[in-house]
Amino acid sequence: MTALGSDAFVFFGAGGELAYQRIFPALQALSRRGRLAMPVVGVAKSGWDLNYFKARALASLESHGGVDSAASAKLLARLHYVDGDYADPAVYAQLRQALGNAARPCHYLAIPPGLFATVADGLAKSGCAKGARIIVEKPFGRDLASAHLLNRTLHQRFPESAIFRIDHFLSREAVENLLYFRFANAFLKPVWNRAHIASVQITLAERSGVAGRGHFYEEVGAIRDTVQNHLLQVVALLAMDVPAGHGPDAMRDEKLRVLRAMRPLCPAETVRGQFRGYRAENGVAPDSQVETFAALRLHIETERWAGVPFYIRVGKRLPVTCSEALVKLKPVAHPLFDAIEPGQENYFRFRLAPDFVASLGARIKAPGEAMVGEAVELVAHRDPGDGMSAYERLLGDALRGNAAMFGRDDCVEAAWHVVEPILNGAVPLLEYPPDTWGPSAAGHILGGESGWHNPA
């Protein structure tokens, strides 16, 4: 049965940076495509009125992508604003009034997780939760226990089918292209298993630091901010079997199967790092033990992947900003011509940011009389162009009720179960110089590999 679309959009945290940088531009884009014919209500404790709120929205558009005069006019005409403390019942009474006849509102909690229960309770008591959907931002918990508590708290007011947990990384065109490439090409199926794949490396590198968000980063760190959600989900996309159907839960069922097959991470196979200078950032403790870099080895205990190591690396202040996955194939057992040296094996390479690249590393004969080869790469490149932003795609999917790219409660908890053993200082912290590939110890977890693949 097709889900009914939402008939109003509400976002709490309307005065915050997420709203300013991401939500207003996404709403303008949805308005431009004719997908936002509904009231849009911002809720914040900022001391504003509606006129100031509209001016804030216009300033956001001017600073982040530009103003589309027709689309922005439609958006501004639909805006409503409610100001007050989220614990005050009067806020929800005003919200109910602003919603008018809307029967299926979609509430976006762009607020700290500590306020989720307060807002969910206010929505339920005011009748604003009836027939509604709710969108929540990551981080969804700090560990398995807190994620379970958050799920239980939300389930007291909303059914699981109405809860949409955002992971903006998964809604990128490039990540969806990875999924399409895997299951639309027949030549991959015979080799996508432990008989032919030697290892998988995934790197998410950022050249920037914490960009003035030191206080936030002190609360999360690289493992909670990126590994537990973004990168374990990319592993799931690479490792999952074909979903049994086209519905959102068929996709998420397969992800869950892979997540539950992951062996909990081992501190001895994990390296944590912090770039030199991080502790001088605003909001960062002078003796901070929060990691800005993590490298680890992951094992998936299924028939398809037993014995194939998955290596994950993430970090800030690395030499480039780029996300790539390298799937390295085993060399031919009996090379007919010249020997294939380590690092020259066949591979599939997927760049997921800033653009999409799918490539195949192969070997061809080098010029000359000798039957010796050289490595070449066959590349398919797709520039993202003017496609949908991650937030436009996510908000549009939530308003339509398409949950395929949103986290489900059991998937979120399974991912926390995987990373639980390496949280809370279980792994020593090593310093690394900015503009390098992290602590040298990260190379030690590769075992017999020839080295990390460093995206260019």
pLDDT of 256 strictly over 90: yes
Are 189 and 270 in the same domain?
Answer: yes
User: Is 18 within 8 Å of 110 (Cβ atoms)?
Assistant: yes
pLDDT cut 90: percent of the chain above it: 73
Q: Averaged over 236-259, what is the pLDDT?
A: 91
Peptide bond between residue 39 and the one before it cis (omega within 30 degrees of 0): no
In a domain, 143, yes or no: no
Are 118 and 204 in the same domain?
Answer: no
pLDDT grade for 187, boundaries at 50, 70 and 90: very high
Are 122 and 213 in the same domain?
Answer: no
Are 126 and 196 in the same domain?
Answer: no
Are 217 and 94 in the same domain?
Answer: no
Domain of residue 217, residue span: 170-388+408-446
Are 272 and 130 in the same domain?
Answer: no
Q: Averaged over 268-290, what is the pLDDT?
A: 96
* Per-residue pLDDT tens digits for 137-178: 877 889 999 999 999 999 999 999 999 998 877 767 788 888
In a domain, 324, yes or no: yes
Are 187 and 308 in the same domain?
Answer: yes
pLDDT of 387 strictly over 70: no
In a domain, 158, yes or no: no
Which stretches of 223-292 are assigned E, i.e. beta strand?
Answer: 270-275
In a domain, 382, yes or no: yes
User: The sheet that has 429-432: what strands, in order across it?
Assistant: 373-382, 356-365, 347-353, 322-329, 197-206, 310-316, 293-298, 270-275, 429-432
Name residue 201's beta-bridge partners. Answer: 311, 326
pTM of the model: 0.90
Are 84 and 189 in the same domain?
Answer: no
- Opening angle at CA 305, ends 303 and 309, nearest 5: 150
Instruction: Give every CB contact of residue 233 below 8 A, 6+ residues apart in sequence.
Output: 167, 169, 170, 255, 415
Are 118 and 178 in the same domain?
Answer: no
Greater confidence (372 vs 377) lies with 377
The tally of domains found in the chain comes to 2
Q: Which of 92, 118, 137 is the last residue of a domain?
A: 137
User: Is 143 within 8 Å of 163 (Cβ atoms)?
Assistant: no
Are 269 and 414 in the same domain?
Answer: yes
In a domain, 328, yes or no: yes
In a domain, 64, yes or no: yes
pLDDT of 28 strictly over 50: yes
Active-site option among 64, 168, 196, 230: 230
In a domain, 291, yes or no: yes
pLDDT of 278 strictly over 50: yes
Q: Position 449: which residue type?
A: E
CATH number at residue 332: 3.30.360.10
In a domain, 19, yes or no: yes
- Mean model confidence pLDDT for the chain: 92
* Per-residue pLDDT tens digits for 80-90: 999 999 999 99
Q: Averaged over 22-44, what is the pLDDT?
A: 95
Are 105 and 239 in the same domain?
Answer: no
Are 100 and 207 in the same domain?
Answer: no
pLDDT grade for 1, boundaries at 50, 70 and 90: very low
pLDDT recorded at residue 439 = 97
pLDDT of 386 strictly over 80: no
pLDDT of 363 strictly over 50: yes
Q: Note if 230 is an active site residue.
A: yes
pLDDT recorded at residue 331 = 86
CATH number at residue 50: 3.40.50.720
User: The sheet that has 79-83: what strands, in order across it?
Assistant: 79-83, 40-44, 8-12, 105-109, 133-136, 163-165
Q: Which of 96, 120, 137 is the last residue of a domain?
A: 137
Tokens of 274: 């912090």
* Per-residue pLDDT tens digits for 194-241: 999 999 999 999 999 998 889 889 989 999 999 999 999 999 999 999
* Per-residue pLDDT tens digits for 442-455: 999 998 777 899 99
Q: Which of 112, 137, 162 is the last residue of a domain?
A: 137
User: Is 441 within 8 Å of 271 (Cβ atoms)?
Assistant: yes
* Per-residue pLDDT tens digits for 399-422: 999 888 888 999 999 999 999 999
